[in-house]
Amino acid sequence: MRRSLLDHAARCAVEQGLGSLTLQAVADAAGVTKGGLLHHFPNKQALIEAVFEDLLGKLDEEIDRRMSEDPAEQGRFTRAYIDAFFQVTRERSGSPWAALAISTMTDPRLRELWSEWMRDRLARHETTDSQPAFRIARYAADGIWLANLTEIEGLEAGTLDELRFDLERLTKGELKT
């Protein structure tokens, strides 16, 4: 039931926008009573935080998968992070990340969850991903994602591909900053 509620809340956030998300709409979409939803999540904020934490878990899995496929140790986390976020970038408004990430700008708890996640990942990969070029590449990927999200039509696919290629070259020491 909890899984279903998280999935439906994420879907509702994409379809209606996070500001319009209601507990009743999520309960209806999941086919449960509002009381059933409240059994798992005591309020809207708890539900939103749980969706965000769930997305961070999925991001972890995706990054770990991509890292396992990368033979080069130096910058492995950064390349996987960039790949994962370029995937989200291509999804644009179809991804629950759009609504939730924008909310991190105004919601201190979501910002805290993101910061904790990032600090943990950076600490875990400090020996392989702390070089300035890797840090710059991660920040550039974040900026590209935000620019794409705020553009009415988004960035052109060719532009995204070029930027992704340049960031990959940067993480492999093939492009100088």
Of 164, 118, 135, the closest CA to residue 75 belongs to: 135
Length of the chain: 177
* Phi and psi, residue 106, nearest 5°: -115, -15
Residues 74-85 have a mean pLDDT of: 94
| pLDDT for 96 | 72
Q: Where are the domains of the chain?
A: 49-171
Residue 46 clears pLDDT 90, i.e. is over it: yes
pLDDT in tens, 125-167: 999 999 999 999 999 999 888 888 777 777 888 988 999 999 9
CA distance 177 to 19: 39
CA distance 123 to 74: 14
Check the CA dihedral 26-30-31-36 and report its sign: negative
pLDDT in tens, 82-134: 998 888 777 655 667 777 777 788 889 999 999 999 999 999 999 999 999 99
CA distance 161 to 80: 15
CA distance 6 to 96: 11
Of 40, 134, 150, 65, the closest CA to residue 101 belongs to: 150
| pLDDT for 41 | 95
CA distance 100 to 83: 19
Kindly report the number of other CB atoms within 10 A of residue 112's CB atom: 12
| pLDDT for 117 | 95
88, 144 in Cβ contact below 8 A? Answer: no
CA distance 150 to 101: 12
In the numeric block, the tokens 């696919």 are attached to 157
